[in-house]
């Protein structure tokens, strides 16, 4: 069985806001990763369990939030309604000289609007000027899994985004329900 990281009691430099994926879809992505990603080519670093395969399938809305608790973020999100998210191809971030990030692209105008709303109203350290919503599957050694690029295994699925999660830099997680329309 491939290694999946234990992220218990982990602290981070910043908090984040994440879109939870439906459980059945999350399980499908994890199973897909076990079938298609060779564990011998997982990228890992000693004493840093943030690499390898992702075990909490989500789409980050914003990383780099300074606050430890979600109070202000919840107030901003209070009027936000459920919205539709479209799943696209499997692609890569190839910006690191050490590893590639295998990801699933996500499309949603409402998700993009949500990202910029939170980014503009919550104090944060954001180093990415353009938001590229995605679901990280895992980190692999450079060029080891290029055959998966543009895979359509999840393409054209849609789901209703119902819940966000404020993931605190101290490791605590706070669910935030969106309004139903």
Per-residue pLDDT of 1-41, as tens digits, reads 333 334 445 678 899 999 999 999 999 999 999 999 999 99
Is 114 inside any structural domain? yes
pLDDT tier at 156 (50, 70, 90 boundaries)? very high
- Which CATH number do you get for residue 59? 3.90.1140.10
pLDDT at 9: 53
Q: What is the pLDDT of residue 7?
A: 45
- Domain membership flag for residue 26: yes
3 within a domain of the structure (yes/no): no
Please count the CA atoms within 13 angstroms of the CA of 102 that sit on its side-chain side.
32
- C-alpha pair distances (Å), 145 with each of 30, 101, 102, 127, 167: 16, 10, 8, 27, 30
Per residue in 112-135, pLDDT (tens digit) is 999 999 999 999 998 888 999 999
Domain-embedded: residue 8: no
Strand (E) or helix (H) holding 118: helix 109-121
pLDDT digits (tens, 9 = 90+) for 36-65: 999 999 999 988 888 999 999 999 999 999
125 in any annotated domain: yes
Q: Are 29 and 137 in contact (CB under 8 A)?
A: yes
User: Do the beta carbons of residue 137 and residue 55 sit within 8 Å?
Assistant: no
Encode pLDDT of 75-96 as tens digits: 999 999 999 999 999 999 999 9
The pLDDT value recorded for residue 71 is 95
Residue 2 lies in a domain: no
| Domain with 147 in it | 15-177
Determine the pLDDT at residue 12. Answer: 80
pLDDT surpassing 70 at residue 111: yes
The beta-strand segments (E) located in 21-131 are 58-65, 83-93, 99-107
* Strand pairing category for 158-161 and 83-93: antiparallel
Establish if 113 belongs to a structural domain: yes
Per-residue DSSP letter, 168:
-
- Report pLDDT for 10: 67
Q: Identify the three-state secondary structure at position 146.
A: helix
86 lies in a domain?
yes
pTM, full prediction: 0.90
Q: What is the DSSP letter of 16?
A: E
| The total number of structural domains that make up the chain | 1
């Amino acid at each position: 069985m491939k290694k999946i990281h234990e992220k218990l009691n982990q602290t981070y430099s910043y908090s984040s806001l994440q879109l939870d994926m439906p459980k059945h879809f999350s399980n499908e992505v994890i199973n897909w990763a076990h079938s298609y990603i060779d564990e011998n080519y997982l990228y890992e670093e000693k004493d840093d369990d943030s690499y390898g395969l992702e075990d909490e399938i989500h789409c980050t809305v914003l990383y780099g939030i300074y606050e430890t608790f979600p109070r202000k973020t919840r107030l901003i999100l209070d009027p936000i309604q459920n919205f539709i998210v479209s799943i696209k191809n499997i692609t890569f971030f190839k910006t690191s000289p050490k590893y590639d990030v295998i990801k699933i692209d996500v499309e949603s105008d409402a998700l993009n609007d949500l990202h910029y709303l939170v980014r503009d109203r919550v104090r944060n350290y954001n180093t990415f000027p353009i938001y590229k919503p995605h679901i990280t599957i895992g980190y692999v050694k450079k060029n080891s899994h290029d055959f998966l690029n543009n895979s359509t295994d999840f393409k054209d699925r849609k789901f209703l985004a119902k819940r966000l999660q404020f993931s605190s830099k101290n490791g605590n997680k706070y669910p935030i329900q969106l309004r139903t329309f």
